[in-house]
Amino acid sequence: MDGNGRWANNRNKPRHSGHRAGVKSVRTSVETAAQRGVEFLTLFAFSSENWSRPKEEVSSLMNLFVEALRREVDELHRNNVRLKFVGALDELNTGLKNKIAQSEQRTANNTGLRLTVAIAFGGRWDIIQASKALARRVLDGSLQVEDIDDAEFAAGLQMSNMPDPDLLIRTGGEQRISNFMLWNLAYAELWFTDVLWPEFDEAVFDEALCFYAGKQRRFGHTGDQVETVGC
């Protein structure tokens, strides 16, 4: 979800007003995902590297996360959305941690859209914490080094109970992964748009889904072995 700061700059507003405007796009993207039958939606809200921003911006973002949860969770719950957070959550302040735990518990039995928010998350951090989990299992004798494979490794990642993403959408014009889910994105289709996050709406989401629908997903196979659905 990139481009909040530039959206605000373009309007001579402070950066935090861009982040506030971005909450509306979060709501739209969740509603659109649910309507279109997307089963898993994961939003990259705050990266490991975002801690290096000016401390006023970091704290206004943390306050915004608490406020957004306070305002939105009822509606998410009514819409049967199951909410989960991934990332180094122990780095967050107690107020936010509590709000996260409450929101996860409240929506835990919902059966609709699986909405995951990555916060204080980094792809490298995730790989390192999964590696530590493997190392501990080897040390305590419950895992042999020879038995380490894709599945054993992925079991220690934050998204262990979810399928790999099919489609990555990045707004804000940059064409890079910026330390998002490095392991999980191995076969994802990548879609980039110049649209800034506060302007992300249903039509832009549909454009991305249409791009995805037109892709032939070969996973190493030849074109004759797979089919393309189309938009």
Residues annotated catalytic, as ranges: 2, 50
Binding site partner of 215, from ligand IPE, Mg ion, none, Cβ cut-off 5-8 A by kind: none
Cα three-residue angle 122-124-128, rounded to 5 degrees: 115
Give dist(CA 25, CA 216) in Å, integer. Answer: 29
Q: Which residue in this structure is represented by tokens 């490095």?
A: 182
**Site stretch for Mg ion (CB under 5 A), options 1-9, 12-20, 94-102, 209-217:** 1-9
Place of tokens 């997307």: 38
State which of positions 165-184 bind ligand IPE (CB under 6 A): 172
What stretches of 111-224 show up as alpha helix (H) in DSSP? 123-139, 150-154, 202-213
| Segment interacting with ligand IPE (CB under 6 A) among 3-11, 82-90, 116-124, 211-219 | 3-11
- How far apart are CB 159 and Mg ion at their closest, in Å? 22
Provide, rounded to whole angstroms, the least separation between the CB of residue 2 and Mg ion: 4
Q: Which is nearer to ligand IPE, 1 or 92 (CB)?
A: 1
- For ligand IPE, the closer of residues 2 and 126 by Cβ is 2
| CB of 197 or CB of 212, closer to ligand IPE | 197
Is residue 3 a contact residue for ligand IPE (CB under 6 A)?
A: yes
φ and ψ at residue 136, rounded to 5 degrees: -65, -40
Query: Would you state the structure tokens that stand for residue 202, as one six-digit string?
Result: 């249903």
61 interacts with ligand IPE by CB under 6 A: yes
**1 near ligand IPE (CB under 6 A):** yes
Count of chain residues binding ligand IPE (CB under 6 A): 11
Residue 227, number of CB atoms within 10 A of its CB: 9
Backbone phi, psi, residue 181, to 5°: -75, 85
Determine how β-strand 167-170 pairs with β-strand 189-192.
parallel
Residue written as token pair 């980039």: 192
Region for 229 from its dihedrals, namely left if φ exceeds 0, alpha if ψ lies in -120 to 50, beta otherwise: alpha
Residue 47 CB, shortest distance to Mg ion, in Å, is 9
Contact flag: residue 50 with ligand IPE (CB under 6 A): yes
Task: Looking at residues 2 to 21 of the shown chain, list those that interact with Mg ion (rule: CB under 5 A).
Answer: 2
Return d(Cα 21, Cα 185) in angstroms, integer.
Answer: 28
Any idea which residue has 């518990």 for tokens?
105
34: contact with ligand IPE by CB under 6 A: no
Q: Which is nearer to ligand IPE, 3 or 165 (CB)?
A: 3
Range in contact with ligand IPE (rule: CB under 6 A) among 4-12, 28-36, 86-94, 97-105: 4-12
Cα–Cα distances (Å) from 85 to 64, 89, 101, 117, in that order, read 15, 8, 9, 5
Q: Which one of residues 20, 46, 130, 184 is an interface residue with ligand IPE (CB under 6 A)?
A: 46
Contacting residues toward Mg ion, per CB under 5 A: 2
